[in-house]
Amino acid sequence: MNDLVSRIATNVGVDPDVAAKAVGAILEFLQSEGPADKVQEMMAAVPGAADLIAQAPSGGMMSMGGVMGLGQKLMGMGLGMGEISSVAKETMAYARENGAGDSIDEIVASIPGLSQFV
């Protein structure tokens, strides 16, 4: 199992499968909404990022975009607001610890509303 997924499953208390899908959804969102160069730096700091994104559920019935759309997608996986925030914070902390600190700051600053969750 991916180190980040294990960490989230343990620290947040969610099923590893849900953790993997949630991280994938977050990474996919960042990839589509953040500055490409900074997101690429972050993805390089998260081993298995492409595999996690592949596990993210497809868009489905999302009625809104942006951070709210991501929140809706994550709630659809059964996560509550506290769990969503914790998964996002653990994901960002992991990327920071693996060398993507400056990139994380720039990504968060570039996406409206994201800072309240991370």
Task: Kindly tell me if the per-residue pLDDT of 61 is higher than 70.
Answer: no
What's the pLDDT tens digit per position in 96-105?
999 888 899 9
In a domain, 118, yes or no: no
Give this prediction's pTM: 0.91
Domain limits at 99? Answer: 3-109
In a domain, 72, yes or no: yes
Residue 22 token pair: 């949630």
The mean of the pLDDT values for the chain is 91
Domain count of the fold of the chain: 1
With respect to residue 70, please indicate whether it lies within any of the assigned structural domains.
yes
pLDDT band at 117 (very low <50, low <70, confident <90, very high): confident
59, pLDDT greater than 70: no
Q: What is the pLDDT of residues 7-26, one digit of tens each?
A: 999 999 999 999 999 999 99
Distance CA 62, CA 94 (A): 27
- Can you state the angle between helices 36-44 and 101-110, rounded to 10 degrees? 140
Domain annotation covers residue 91:
yes
